[in-house]
A and B are shown apart, each in its own frame.
Chain A
Amino acid sequence: MSETQNKPAKKKTVKWGDAPKLSVLDALYLPAIASGLATAIKHAVSGKPTTRQYPEVEPEIPPNYRGVHRLNRDEAGRVKCVACYMCQTACPANCIEIIAAPAPKDDPHWKDRDKFPATFTIDELRCIYCGMCEEACPVDAIELTSIYDLTGMTREEMIFDKEKLLSVFDETVKTGRDPVRTNRGKLGPASELSPTAKDAPPPPGRGKSG
């Protein structure tokens, strides 16, 4: 004790306070117990549960929620995807697999398109729902919806093919819960010719120069 006191005084960085005094009421415990009981009873009779009765009352999902994917259709009802492999390349979980095919040029239905996805599968179990496919897509063909309660009995049924992904689009369009990022009816910025290159918005996720 005395040794430490005789040392040269260091610069004080810590301020020592005294412990608060214990009053008779504190030492009696009973007021504290009574106030605890009062709090418990107040909450018990308030009748305002903060929980939600889930299956009956569904939560309000924000429109930028990243749930199950969908493949958008254009005005003609065709799959909007141009099979550019951007999403497949961007995907960090390698859950997207696309096989492109040349669009049937003699069919007037497809005459303005070069390629279309012959198959488009997403492994929903492998997906980490990061939304990078959505950001990478130049034509806003792939989007994450606010469907959060995806379930399945087998692994196979959780691998969504093109038809399944398009049916997700049909369903979500019907309920009118489009994702907030959606650009339905328009092609994405990269596909549109702007009058001058300067006015064109930068591609998502890159700098202006990129």
Chain B
Amino acid sequence: MINSLLEYWPVLWPTLAAIAVILAVVPFLGLYMTFIERKVAAYVQDRVGPNRVGPFGLFQAVADGIKIFLKEQLIPDHVYTALYFIAPAFSLITAMFALVVMPFGPVATDYAGGFRFMVAPGIDIGILMMLAISSLSAYGIIVGGWASNNKYSIYGAIRSCAQFISYEIPLGLSILGVIAIAGSLNIERIVAVQSASILDWNVFWQPVAMLVFFTSALAETNRLPFDLPECEQELVGGFHTEYSGIKFVLYFLAEYTHIVTVSFLTALLFLGGWHFPGLPGPSGASTLVLLLGLLVLLVKVSLVVMVIILLRWSLPRFRFDQLMGLAWKGLIPLALANLVGVAVVLTLGLPKHLLIATAVLPVLAAYYSATKFNASMADENISKKGLSPRGAVSYE
């Protein structure tokens, strides 16, 4: 036993180290994401935000963490106790499990020994596994909503379920083009394909895919403008109405882990990952270059996170039918058309940068929907004028 451990130690320790990094970083990341979110929210709303605990309120997150750990474990009478305990843990486990195949720093595709910024490098179904695992996180929410035995919670859970099912489709479809061009589901290879020059970043030839992916990812993470499962005005707290203390924190950690995962995926799949002009690739590179690559990736990820947080404070929440309409009538056709474009370019052997033309797709779709909408409004104006309260009204 000991002998075999020693024998496998050279291949074992990088994995263990990567696991340790993820386990150590994720909870702090979650706590500090709440701090950053509160701070950004405050600045957007012309406030100052938390600034009492430590310089600039930096220890607010720690104070919150301590407070929430010491809170009373409140278990309502009417919950299904076992499921009630399992659900938040399941939520966080699935959220962190998805990080297994995610490179959080430069990973060379030759997988040399030593520490690598990834728990399980070289998984050939990487992105597929990631999608599969992250869609499992719907279970955490649904089980939690069910176990709460409360109509608001179950409504939140049902909404979340419907939203997950709808947005999984455009999420998967949008990255099919990226996968097809890279010829691999392996995330490191997908990044490696983008590393020739800045113009090889997927965003420059798959803008529609990035748009669809980012939108669906926002919906998957239950973020505004798609936070129907937990919208306070209608559902009290949604699926976490009955949760408090550490179990509530587990849900929140899961949500913020999702946001980080999604931001990493956006940066890796569309923004060139750790590639930056002038920076050599990760194979056989020195530690300094690797650290620079890590820095580049983290900067890209934090930019995406920033956009996600700022979007929360600039967009109103969708209505539920609008949410479904956007997925089924907007994003899925766009993603499909984009995929057809990729297929045509690949089959005919055309240069892939011709695909920048797919940027016309949303404009065409907008033109179509605007024409349809105006025509329907014109009909309504003719048939109902003077009889219906619809349309703009001015009183004389």
Can you list 17 A-B contacts with CB-CB less than 8 angstroms, sorted by A residue number?
A1-B383, A13-B396, A15-B395, A15-B396, A16-B385, A19-B377, A21-B377, A27-B367, A28-B363, A33-B311, A37-B307, A37-B310, A40-B313, A40-B314, A48-B46, A51-B46, A51-B47
Complex interface bits, A105-136 against B, C-beta within 8 A gives 1, otherwise 0: 00000000000000000000000000000000
Shortest Cβ gap from B13 to chain A (Å): 43
Given A13-B395, A18-B377, A20-B392, CB of A30 within 8 Å of CB of B387: no
Q: How far is the CB of B144 from chain A (nearest CB, A)?
A: 31
* Residues in B whose Cβ lies below 8 Å from that of A49: 42, 46-48
Q: Which residues of B contact A29 (CB under 8 A)?
A: 366
- In this complex, what residue of A is CB-closest to B383? A1
Chain A residues with Cβ under 8 A from B314's Cβ?
Answer: 33, 36-37, 39-40
The docked-state distance in angstroms from the alpha carbon of A175 to that of B289 is: 64
Docked-complex contact A44 and B381, CB < 8 angstroms: no
Measured CA separation A75–B148 after assembly (Å): 70
A17 x B373 contact (CB < 8 A): no
Q: Mark contacts of A1-21 with chain B using CB atoms, 8 A cut-off: 1 yes-contact digit, 0 otherwise.
A: 100100000000111111111
Closest 7 CB pairs of A and B: A36-B314, A28-B366, A27-B370, A27-B366, A44-B43, A17-B392, A40-B314
- Residues A22-68 near B (CB distance < 8 A): 22-30, 33, 36-37, 39-41, 43-46, 48-51, 53
Q: Judging by beta carbons under 8 Å apart, are A43 and B44 in contact?
A: yes
**Interface code B365-396, partner A: CB below 8 Å = 1, 0 otherwise?**
11101100110011001010111001111111
Q: Quick check: is B315 within 8 A (CB to CB) of the other chain?
A: yes
Is B286's beta carbon under 8 Å from chain A? no
B366–A25 CB distance below 8 A: yes
Across-interface contacts of A44 in B (CB, < 8 A): 40, 43-44, 310
Report the separation of the CA atoms of residues A16 and B393 in the bound assembly, to the nearest whole angstrom.
5
Task: State whether B387 touches A4 (Cβ < 8 A).
Answer: yes
Contacts of A18 in B (CB 8 A): 377-378, 381, 391-392
Residues of A within 8 A of B (CB): 1, 4, 13-30, 33, 36-37, 39-41, 43-46, 48-51, 53
Contact call B393/A27, Cβ cutoff below 8 A: no
Excluding A21-B377, A43-B43, 6 further A-B contacts by CB distance (< 8 Å) are A15-B395, A17-B392, A19-B381, A21-B374, A28-B362, A28-B366
**Of B315, B370, B394, the contact of A15 (CB 8 Å cutoff):** B394
CB of B45 within 8 Å of the partner chain: yes
Q: Which residue from chain A places its CB closest to the CB of B381 in the assembled complex?
A: A18
Q: In the complex, which residues of chain A have a beta carbon less than 8 angstroms from the beta carbon of B43?
A: 43-45
Residue with the greatest number of chain B CB neighbours at <10 A, chosen from A13, A40, A41: A40
Question: Given the interface contacts A27-B373, A44-B40, does A33 sit within 8 Å of B315 by beta carbon?
Answer: yes
* Measured CA separation A43–B41 after assembly (Å): 10
- Chain B residues with CB under 8 Å of A28's CB are 362-363, 366
Interchain CA distance A20-B387 in the complex, whole Å: 19
- In the bound complex, residues from chain A placing their C-beta under 8 Å from that of B307 are 37
**CB closest residue in chain B, given A23:** B370
| B contact residues around A13 at 8 Å (CB) | 395-396
In the complex, which residues of chain B have a beta carbon less than 8 angstroms from the beta carbon of A1? 383, 387
Instruction: Give the contacts of B35-60 with A (CB-CB under 8 A).
Output: 40, 42-48, 51
Q: How far is the CA of A137 from the CA of B258 in the complex (A)?
A: 67
A17 pairs with B391, CB closer than 8 A: yes
In the bound complex, CA of A26 to CA of B370 (Å): 8
Contact A14 B392 (CB under 8 A): no
Contact B381 A27 (CB under 8 A): no
CB nearest neighbor in A for B378: A18
**B contact residues around A37 at 8 Å (CB):** 307, 310-311, 314
**In the complex, A44→B42 CA distance in Å?**
8
Q: Are B46 and A46 in contact (CB under 8 A)?
A: yes
* Contact residues in B for A16 (Cβ distance below 8 Å): 381, 385-386, 391, 393
Residues of chain B in range 320-376 having any CB-CB distance to chain A below 8 Å: 362-363, 365-367, 369-370, 373-374
Q: Is A43 in contact with B45, judged by CB distance below 8 angstroms?
A: yes
Whole-angstrom distance between the Cβ of B181 and the nearest chain A Cβ: 24
Q: Which one, A24, A39, A41, A48, contacts B363 given CB within 8 A?
A: A24
| B370 and A53 within 8 A (CB) | no
Q: Cα distance A39–B43 when bound, in Å?
A: 12
Looking at the complex, which one of A14, A27, A51 makes contact with B395 (CB distance below 8 Å)? A14
Q: Which of A21, A22, A53 has the most CB of B within 10 A?
A: A22
Residue of B46, B47, B314, B387 with highest tally of chain A CB at under 10 A? B314
Contact of A22 with B373 in the complex, beta carbons under 8 Å = yes
* Contact residues in A for B51 (Cβ distance below 8 Å): 53
Residue of A nearest to B39 (CB): A44
CB distance from B1 to the nearest CB of A (A): 56
With contact pairs A16-B386, A40-B313 given, residues A27 and B369 touching in the complex (Cβ less than 8 Å) = yes
Asked whether, in the complex, the Cβ of B393 is within 8 Å of the Cβ of A14, the reply is: yes
Query: Which of chain A's residues have a CB closer than 8 A to the CB of B370?
Result: 22-24, 26-27
Bound: A30/B211 CA distance, A: 10
Would you list which residues of chain B between 261 and 277 have a CB under 8 Å from chain A? none
B362 touches A30 (CB 8 A): yes
> What residues on A are CB-neighbors of B395 within 8 Å?
13-15
- Docked Cα-Cα span, A40 to B314, in Å, equals 6
Given A15-B394, A22-B370, A37-B311, A50 contacting B47 (CB threshold 8 A): yes
Q: Which residue of A lies closest to B43 (CB)?
A: A44
